[in-house]
């Protein structure tokens, strides 16, 4: 009996050491930049679930009803960027869906798997099609670079691994879903995420008809509004919360643009007249 007990204790100890070592390795791995325990399939499933939740909450997310020409216009810009830029690698993996939310909020956001949402408030705020393309390219980059599930990995990674080792934890899955859906907390981007999305927005648009630095028009407009109404004017609160805009972010984008040869002309590939016609068709403010 003593020999059996001793053997059992040894096995238990070895299992503990193995588990502990595995968790230490996982912690180191998950602290590395771009680590992600979620698969592309997981991103798609999370995006689908979040899309359902968004559409089941019309008070917070009033989807645009009717106005098919507006919806087709936004979707057309997104699909054009996807089909034109060779740098977008997951266009055949993610379903990429471009939708419009009818609200005065000046914002756009993307959930995992390429579900992009643009607010009519944003469309009223900007002045040309290239700016909208720059914002849409920025949101595509959040999906392509998998920023949301990277943040989920950093937050839940070791806990999920421990659950797998010890036999699963269904409550943890529910917790992840709750944090994703309540307030879209994990859609709040870090400075690094924003800088990377800006970079790829420029790279994506370089292959298109649009001025590649068009997102700078958006930044300029935000700065103008801040001068008029204070540091965080009301309709911009959500956008600045989800997409921080420190001065060094603007400088970084301008530096990127200055490195492009030949230097792109900010007066070409803007499509202001076409965009103004679309703006006139937007529904009245809610």
Catalytic machinery residues: 139
Question: H or E element: which one contains 98?
Answer: strand 97-101
Task: Identify the CA nearest to 54 among candidates 119, 6, 1.
Answer: 119
Rounded to whole angstroms, how far apart are CA atoms 150 and 29?
Answer: 12
Residue 217 burial (10 A CB sphere; 0-12, 13-18, 19+): buried
Instruction: Give Cβ neighbours of residue 185 (< 8 Å, ≥ 6 apart).
Output: 179
**192 CA to centre of own chain:** 12
Is the distance from CB of 148 to CB of 187 less than 8 angstroms? yes
CA 156/CA 66 separation, integer angstroms: 40
Q: In whole angstroms, what separates CA 196 from the centre of its chain?
A: 11
**Where do the H-state alpha helices sit in the chain?**
2-31, 40-55, 68-84, 120-125, 129-144, 147-166, 170-181, 191-205, 215-229, 237-242, 247-258, 272-281
């Amino acid at each position: 009996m003593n020999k059996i007990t001793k053997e059992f204790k040894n096995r238990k100890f070895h299992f503990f050491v193995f588990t502990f070592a595995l968790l230490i390795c996982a912690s180191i791995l998950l602290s590395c930049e771009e680590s992600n325990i979620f698969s592309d399939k997981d991103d798609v499933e999370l995006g689908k679930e979040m899309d359902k939740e968004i559409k089941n909450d019309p008070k917070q997310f009033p989807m645009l009803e009717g106005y098919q020409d507006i919806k087709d216009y936004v979707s057309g810009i997104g699909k054009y960027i996807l089909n034109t830029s060779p740098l977008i690698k997951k266009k055949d993996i993610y379903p990429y869906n471009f939708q419009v939310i009818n609200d005065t909020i000046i914002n756009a956001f993307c959930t995992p798997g390429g579900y992009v949402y643009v607010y009519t408030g944003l469309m009223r705020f900007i002045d040309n099609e290239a700016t909208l393309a720059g914002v849409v390219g920025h949101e595509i980059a959040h999906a392509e670079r998998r920023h949301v599930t990277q943040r989920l990995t950093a937050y839940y990674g070791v806990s999920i691994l421990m659950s797998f080792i010890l036999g699963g934890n269904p409550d943890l899955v529910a917790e992840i879903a709750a944090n994703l859906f309540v307030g879209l907390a994990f859609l709040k981007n870090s400075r690094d995420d924003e800088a990377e999305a800006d970079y790829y927005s420029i790279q994506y648009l370089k292959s298109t008809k649009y001025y590649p630095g068009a997102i700078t028009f958006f930044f300029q407009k935000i700065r103008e509004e801040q001068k008029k109404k204070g540091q965080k004017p009301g309709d911009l609160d959500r956008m600045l919360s989800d997409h921080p805009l420190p001065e060094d972010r603007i400088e970084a984008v301008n530096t990127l643009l200055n490195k492009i040869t030949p230097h792109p002309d900010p007066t070409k590939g803007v499509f202001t007249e076409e965009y103004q016609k679309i703006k006139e068709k937007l529904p009245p403010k809610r």
